[in-house]
């Protein structure tokens, strides 16, 4: 059993926190191998949670009791996963009993099979179910074992399109003490239709109706990030109107995506070559969404750096 915070959990009677500390709570992190559980646990540690990795499920009720009695520790997070073996099947019943002891939430992390396979390939680590079994087969078995646990999770987070930093940022935004109601990572992508529409995008907007800077010789070698090019595109009424209307639409839509549990939204803007109009629009929309306090990253797929 690995621990990130090495502090003793003292005994004592259950106490009500009247000293300004956070009330006792437990977060259980579980999910697919390779889905980012270690990164999420690290994020909780940075938030001040007492963190434990791979705690045997049979010890969770006693751990919860000690947390409820502790004068030093209130917010705790622990990882439980397939390394537990057959005992993992008892986790749903244990969670039900633990929730009677103190407020408890479960986060279930998952990712697409292709993403998990890539991650295992990059790290060259064997799957916890055994090095002698193909990773693809182990993932299929693991997903079947975890299905009942996923069904009782309070939060299901698909980490397929998160990198390590984005995942930790997402968890921090969602669980920090004074969190904002903006628990959604937005990715604004620019692309060129001649190179194909990006995979795995949620919303696609065609901006080829805007005047094309490519036909202005001095703008041809530049991109939509250049101030002169951006100024040229913005000089047309339809450009200003489009940016205004699309931003208003997204500000309306995003809270609904959040309520449906979506953690990552990719919005793609396409022009002919992906160098001028789509780049400028992606930058402008991202800027306006940040003003609405959303976490936004911008990716220019086909634009030269």
For the chain, the average pLDDT equals 86
Domain range list for the chain: 2-175, 185-300
pLDDT value of position 196: 95
User: Residues 129-156: pLDDT tens digits?
Assistant: 887 788 889 999 999 989 999 999 999 9
User: Computed from CA positions of residues 228, 230, 231, 232, in that sequence, does the dihedral angle turn out positive or negative?
Assistant: positive
Q: Out of 172-186, 235-249, 255-269, 282-296, give the one with best mean pLDDT.
A: 235-249
Top-confidence residue, 263 or 107: 107
Q: Out of 6-10, 105-109, 120-124, give the one with best mean pLDDT.
A: 105-109
Whether residue 226 has pLDDT greater than 80: yes
Chain position carrying tokens 């969670």: 95
CA 272 – CA 192 distance, rounded (Å): 5
Q: Bridge partners of 51? A: 77
pLDDT value of position 46: 84
What's phi and psi for 78, nearest 5 deg? Answer: -145, 155
Nearest C-alpha neighbor of 285 from the set 261, 305, 265? 265
Contacts of 30 (CB under 8 A, 6+ apart): 37, 79, 80, 81, 91, 106, 107, 108, 109, 146, 149, 153
51 near 77, Cβ under 8 Å? yes
Contacts of 127 (CB under 8 A, 6+ apart): 33, 120, 133, 135, 138, 139, 142
Whether residue 83 has pLDDT greater than 90: no
Q: Residue 208 gets which letter from DSSP?
A: T
Chain position carrying tokens 């490519």: 214
Q: Report the Cα–Cα distance between both ends of the chain, in Å, rounded.
A: 45
pLDDT value of position 181: 52
CA 19 – CA 105 distance, rounded (Å): 24
Give CATH superfamily name and number for 2-175. Answer: P-loop containing nucleotide triphosphate hydrolases (3.40.50.300)
User: Residues 228-244: pLDDT tens digits?
Assistant: 999 999 999 999 999 99
CA 181 – CA 122 distance, rounded (Å): 34
pLDDT value of position 223: 96
Rounded average pLDDT over 74-79 = 90
- How would you classify residue 15: left for phi > 0, otherwise alpha for psi between -120 and 50, otherwise beta? beta
Whether residue 20 has pLDDT greater than 80: no
pLDDT value of position 22: 55
User: Residues 163-206: pLDDT tens digits?
Assistant: 888 888 888 878 776 454 566 889 999 999 999 999 889 999 99
Rounded average pLDDT over 270-297 = 94
Whether residue 285 has pLDDT greater than 70: yes
């Amino acid at each position: 059993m690995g621990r990130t915070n090495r502090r003793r959990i003292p005994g004592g009677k259950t106490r009500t926190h009247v000293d300004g500390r956070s009330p006792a709570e437990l977060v259980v992190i579980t999910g697919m191998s390779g889905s980012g559980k270690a990164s999420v646990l690290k994020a909780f540690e940075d938030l001040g949670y007492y963190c434990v990795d791979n705690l045997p499920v049979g010890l969770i009720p006693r751990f919860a009791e000690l947390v409820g009695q502790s004068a030093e520790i209130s917010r705790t997070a622990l990882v439980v996963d397939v390394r537990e073996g057959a005992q993992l099947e008892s986790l749903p019943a244990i969670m039900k009993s633990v929730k009677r002891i103190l407020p408890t939430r479960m986060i279930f992390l998952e990712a697409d099979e292709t993403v998990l396979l890539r991650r295992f390939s990059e790290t060259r680590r064997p799957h916890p179910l055994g090095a002698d079994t193909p990773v693809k087969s182990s993932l299929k078995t693991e997903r079947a074992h975890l299905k009942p646990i996923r069904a009782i999770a309070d939060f299901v987070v698909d980490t397929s399109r998160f990198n390590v930093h984005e995942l930790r940022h997402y968890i921090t935004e969602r669980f920090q003490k004074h969190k904002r109601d903006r628990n959604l990572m937005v990715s604004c992508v620019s692309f060129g239709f001649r190179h194909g529409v990006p995979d795995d995008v949620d919303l696609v907007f065609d901006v080829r109706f805007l005047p094309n800077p490519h036909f202005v010789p001095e703008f041809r070698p530049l991109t939509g990030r250049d101030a002169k090019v951006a100024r040229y595109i913005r000089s047309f009424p339809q450009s200003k109107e489009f940016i205004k209307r699309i931003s208003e639409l997204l500000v309306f839509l995003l809270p609904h995506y959040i309520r449906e549990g979506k953690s990552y939204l990719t919005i793609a803007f396409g022009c002919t070559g992906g160098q001028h109009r789509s780049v400028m629009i992606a930058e402008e929309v991202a800027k306006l969404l940040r003003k609405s306090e959303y976490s936004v990253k911008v990716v220019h797929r086909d634009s030269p750096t």
